[in-house]
Amino acid sequence: MLASISLVTRPRLTQQERTERTRELLLDATIDCLVELGYARTSTNEICRRAGVSRGAQQHHFATKAELMASAVEHLVSKIIDRMTSGAREALTGPDRISQGIDMLWRGYSGSLSTAVMELWVAGRTDPELHTAMQPIDKALARRTAELFREMLGEQVAGDRPDLPLWLTVNLIRGLALDSMIGGDPARRRQLLDEWKTIAVKTYGS
């Protein structure tokens, strides 16, 4: 007797789910292009090819290239913030919390996030539409990063300006990320970051 075979069919995606999926494919493809090709060589045609969607679908979701670029960075920022916050409360409660906080920021502001954002910041200098689209996202990232830093360290940071070590770290990390993009020495970057951690712990550790 033949065993009965049950066929399991996947439920059809709703229109909203298909829309969200297409949008996510476009955003992920945009980030990949920025990282691999740079802004100048990133075209909407290449983005659509990688995402497997038509130009019409892309234009339905994002009317302009600047809007697509800004939304892609917002998409990536959201993922990076989620990764930074995962388990962070436990990691930042010990005596090395300042050092761990700096490591947390380095994870968030380096790698693919830094590469994509750097490409857009530089391009936005001479592209008013892109510059305008990027401004609210940059401010939102700065605000969320500051909130996260305060949540993790709170009043444990010594001094009357608890945000100062945050912004010193962010600006150092941006410089190190740029150094990485232009082919700087990885060992030197690690040394500089470790040196800053030592200084920050001595200066701001309570």
Q: What is the mean pLDDT of residues 58-85?
A: 84
For 13, the 3-state DSSP assignment is coil
Angle, helices 15-37/65-85, rounded to nearest 10 degrees: 90
What is residue 93's predicted lDDT score, i.e. its pLDDT?
Answer: 61
Query: Using an 8 Å Cβ cutoff, are 100 and 92 in contact?
Result: yes
CA pair distance 181, 188, nearest whole angstrom = 14
Least confident of 76-90, 100-114, 138-152: 76-90
User: For the chain, give me the number of helices (H) and strands (E)?
Assistant: 10, 0
Q: DSSP letter at 54? A: -
Secondary structure in 3-state letters for 128-194: HHHHHHHHHHHHHHHHHHHHHHHHHHHHHECCCCCCHHHHHHHHHHHHHHHHHHCCCCHHHHHHHHH
Query: Using an 8 Å Cβ cutoff, are 177 and 107 in contact?
Result: no
Domain ranges of the chain: 66-204
> What angle (nearest 5°) sits at the alpha carbon of residue 39, between those of residues 44 and 60?
25
CA pair distance 152, 140, nearest whole angstrom = 18
pLDDT digits (tens, 9 = 90+) for 132-187: 888 888 888 888 888 877 777 666 665 566 678 888 888 898 888 888 888 889 99
pLDDT digits (tens, 9 = 90+) for 18-63: 888 999 999 999 999 988 998 889 999 999 999 999 999 999 999 8
Cβ neighbours for 101, distance < 8 A, ≥ 6 positions apart: 92, 149, 152, 153, 165, 169
CA pair distance 101, 148, nearest whole angstrom = 10
pTM over 0.75: no
What is residue 154's predicted lDDT score, i.e. its pLDDT?
Answer: 60
